Amino acid sequence: MKDLARLLCLALIAGLAACSHAHVQTTQSYLGPSMPRPDHVYVSYFSITPDEVRLDQGVGARIIRAADDQPLSAQELKAAQDTQAALAQHIVARLRQYGLPAEIAMNAGGSANALLVQGQIVSIDQGNRTRRILIGLGAGKSSIGADTQLYHLTETASPRFLMAFEGKADSGRMPGAVETMGAGAAAERIGTSTAITGATHAGAEMRSTSDTAEAANLGNEIALRVGQLAVAQGWIPQTALQ
């Protein structure tokens, strides 16, 4: 039982280490007068071109691409579109959790008082899934980067620039199979350890290495910056961000 508990702890630590992380920096802050609470917060799909996508360089992914009838441009376009949608949807979802009236920007024109969140996805790098699984600890990590701008919209004037952010999210530094198998050998339960940590690693890898997983984390951080402006303006309480 003690050995099993030890191995479960190792698996838990591996799972915690797997968490991808995002960092967003405010590059231009809003220093103007107080604004009324917006009636809408529109979130647009961030612009991107397939040229900014680097597909998975792992062995399995390369074999699949070699056997696939689709050209690389089509696969890159799909990765770009999936990331666009995931980023916008997670920004909207998190802003709604904060109590802000957020929605995907289908038609942001004609609003008397609204915010517009828009931006550019500057890179999508799917990394190398084979290296992530075998080596881990940041080897072969996947990442996305995006620049964000926030505008105030009215019916009578051009969009007014408020703030700008730049950010990046990656798949984190999860231990790979070599690392976790070594820990199991130290516990003299190689077979059991491989089964537990291997399953943990595979599950976390499936959850945390896709472009949409990084987009989710990045979207949450972008929404947090907008939420902090909302707190400073008195639109929502500080407790809404917790």
Q: 138 or 108: whose pLDDT is higher?
A: 108
What integer pLDDT is reported at residue 54 of this predicted model? 65
Banded pLDDT at 38 (limits 50, 70, 90): very high
Return the exposure string of 36-55: e unless at least 16 CB atoms fall within 10 Å of the residue's CB, then b: eebebbbbbbbebebebbeb
Distance of CA 171 to the CA centre of its chain: 9
What integer pLDDT is reported at residue 64 of this predicted model? 52
What integer pLDDT is reported at residue 213 of this predicted model? 82
Rounded distance, CA 53 to CA 196, Å? 34
Q: Which residues contact 82 (CB under 8 A, 6 or more apart)?
A: 210, 211, 212
- Percentage of the chain beyond pLDDT 70 is 59
Banded pLDDT at 185 (limits 50, 70, 90): very low
Question: Please, are residues 215 and 89 in contact by the beta-carbon 8 Å criterion?
Answer: no
| Virtual torsion, Cα 127, 131, 133, 137, nearest 10 deg | -90
What integer pLDDT is reported at residue 130 of this predicted model? 54
The average confidence (pLDDT) of the chain is 73
What integer pLDDT is reported at residue 77 of this predicted model? 80
Banded pLDDT at 148 (limits 50, 70, 90): very high
What integer pLDDT is reported at residue 161 of this predicted model? 97
Domain map (residue ranges) of the chain? 2-231
pLDDT in tens, 225-241: 999 999 999 999 999 99
